[in-house]
Amino acid sequence: MKEFPLARPYIGQAEINSVVKVLKSGVLSLGPVGQEFEEAFAKRVGTRYACAVSSGTAGLHLAILAAGIGYGDEVITTPFSFVASANCILYVGAKPVFVDIDPITYNIDPAKIEKKITRRTKAILVVHIFGQPTAMDTVMKLAKKYKLRVIEDACESIGATYQGRQAGTFGESAVFAFYANKQMTTAEGGMIVTNSKRVYEQCKSLANQGRSANLQWLDHNRLGYNYRLDELSSALGREQLRRLDWMIAKRRQIAGWYTECLSEFADIVEAPQTAPGNTHTWFVYVVLIHGTSSQRDRVIQALHNSGVASKPYLPSIHLFKFYKEQFGYRRGDFPLSESVSDRSLALPFYIGLTKKDVKEIVSRFITTLTRYGNK
């Protein structure tokens, strides 16, 4: 029986060669490849600057710091995300104020933001979840009206567009991530993009122990971190970036096969939808089933036994224990986010899956669902 993992990076010979070349060069950090990767990345997204960092989480931390967010500030964000997008707000002593999601994209619902704005609100941190951008026109209008910063967590949505414009080009800064399951990978790594020279220089400095570009090695003029991306990872990223359009096209093709195969089961499975005005770059392929979260968990277990990996995607952040304890969030606070969290399931999704594979996965999934999903 063929087994299907949830995700798998696509690594070609060019990536292997470029990493070996760095190893042989003797320059393993703070070298020319990192700089080249940053320049190529900024060009691809269409921003003036890009600052490579050691992870998406590190990038979010620096983007928050560069926005001047600190103790006592409030940041409006979504509960339906990977935990890092809210944790980075906690890192600086600010408070995440959650707003429920849009039922099509699962991104923050911009229509619900305004009534959460207070005198303490400093920023809106949107997350473009699963490969599809947030409706940025309303977000940007609100930001202008109330003089709020906008930070985009674009970690799952590289290459996606909203009304023809690239995710990551709307806010003061945006962050991308390159963990091994993302659309492109550097193993671990991330990138902050911005059009602001101030934000760029601050991020570069903070990622490198508080040194400015013109400082000597042991001069530090602010509290900084070591969030640098090494040359090996940068070389990997530089090659992945060259194939990005091809990899996105492949992901779209596989998503299309899934949607086609699932269409005849629309009464028991909800396939993902793309909002008008958006293009989708498919970080994951997530379906919703009917029933409770324990039924969904049973389906995942049974699918696992049939050789198909799947996962709940994603738990709502406000229901994690430390968020509930610190901020008093409760079940029922964000019903749409909770409903997606309870019923969602990510199916195997990676370059290399054939149409035959997708048919086989869907067949095992539907068999499992009809057996375990409604009991």
Ligand X SMILES: *Cc1c(COP(=O)(O)O)cnc(C)c1O
Catalytic residues: 182
* 84 near ligand X, rule: CB under 6 A: yes
Question: Phi then psi for 209, rounded to 5 degrees?
Answer: 65, 25
Nearer to ligand X, 56 or 110 (CB): 56
* 56 near ligand X, rule: CB under 6 A: yes
* 106 near ligand X, rule: CB under 6 A: no
* 18 near ligand X, rule: CB under 6 A: no
Q: Reduce the DSSP state of residue 282 to 3 states and report it.
A: coil
Between the alpha carbon of residue 310 and those of residues 107, 163, 175, 286, 289, the distances in Å are 22, 32, 26, 9, 13
**What's the chain's Rg over C-alpha atoms?**
21
Minimum distance from CB of 372 to ligand X (Å)?
28
| Cα–Cα–Cα angle for 349, 350, 353, rounded to 5 degrees | 90
Which residue of 22, 34, 49, 57 would you call a contact of ligand X, by CB under 6 A?
Answer: 57
Minimum distance from CB of 176 to ligand X (Å)?
9
How many chain residues interact with ligand X (CB under 6 A)? 14
* 85 near ligand X, rule: CB under 6 A: yes
How far apart are the C-alpha atoms of 181 and 213, rounded to whole Å?
A: 33
* 282 near ligand X, rule: CB under 6 A: no
Nearer to ligand X, 184 or 347 (CB): 184
Minimum distance from CB of 201 to ligand X (Å)?
23
307, 280 contact by CB (below 8 A): no
Long-range own/partner contacts, residues 371-374 (CB < 8 A, 24 or more apart): 371/302, 372/295, 372/298, 372/299, 372/302, 373/268, 373/289, 373/290, 373/291, 373/295, 373/296, 373/298, 373/299, 374/290, 374/291, 374/295
Minimum distance from CB of 183 to ligand X (Å)?
11
Which residue of 18, 47, 55, 208 would you call a contact of ligand X, by CB under 6 A?
Answer: 55
How far apart are the C-alpha atoms of 248 and 226, rounded to whole Å?
A: 31
* 190 near ligand X, rule: CB under 6 A: yes
Contact letters (x/-) for ligand X, 298-337, by CB under 6 A? ----------------------------------------
Which two structure tokens, joined as six digits, stand for 351?
Answer: 């370059």
* 279 near ligand X, rule: CB under 6 A: no
Alpha helices (runs of H) in 82-129, residue ranges in sequence order = 84-91
Verify cis geometry, omega within 30 degrees of 0, for the bond prior to 314.
Answer: yes
* 97 near ligand X, rule: CB under 6 A: no
Minimum distance from CB of 127 to ligand X (Å)?
5
Nearer to ligand X, 128 or 343 (CB): 128
Which residues contribute to the site for ligand X (CB under 6 A)?
Answer: 55-57, 81-82, 84-85, 127, 153, 155-156, 177, 179, 190
